Amino acid sequence: MLTDAEIKKLIRCPKRIIEAAPRKGMGDDKKSVFIQRKNLKLLSEDEKHRFDVFIRHHSMLIEQFSLGLNFKSDDRQIGNITLLRFNGAHGQSDWSKDGHYSAFHIHRISEALLAGGIYEPREIEITERYSTFDSAINEFLRYINLMNITEYFPHADKQMLLFEREE
């Protein structure tokens, strides 16, 4: 079982991309011609933790996207857990009580969810941290403390944050 402090530490620990598919740009999704995708394999700087990142973006409905960080644990009790997901606006406001489907939002996993046997990041925060797919990528990659961003996302350094955020 992961505690909230451990979850936060995993999200914020320095990481490096060790593999990207495709290496440059986005690739086509086999299930839909409208979805572009990219998958990353990450390793923590101390080489103790492995992660996957998934990036999905709808090419026609530009506010529909999902960026997620999966922790890949060797502990069978923990397994693979999506710790964090940044989403765009992807639906009608009446699909959810809080209206998050029609707003940019962040999903997080928590100790309480895991203790209840829920392994989906269901804690939801409506956010103004980003307002486009590109700004979401920049915010997400910095938020998860990715050290070699510009090797794989050369334009990421063009959109620096005005203020550093603590969390």
Q: What is the pTM of this model?
A: 0.86
CA distance 65 to 84: 14
Reported as a single tens digit per residue, the pLDDT across 55-75 is: 999 877 768 899 999 999 988
Contact 7, 110 (CB under 8 A): yes
For the CA atoms of 57, 112, 144, 43, the dihedral, rounded to the nearest 10 degrees, stands at -100
Contact 79, 56 (CB under 8 A): no
CA distance 132 to 39: 19
How much is the pLDDT for 140?
95
CA distance 137 to 4: 24
Reported as a single tens digit per residue, the pLDDT across 120-158 is: 999 999 898 998 989 999 999 999 999 998 888 877 655
Q: Which residues pair with 104 in a beta bridge?
A: none
What are the extents of the domains in the chain? 4-158
Reported as a single tens digit per residue, the pLDDT across 70-108 is: 999 988 888 899 999 999 986 554 445 555 456 889 999
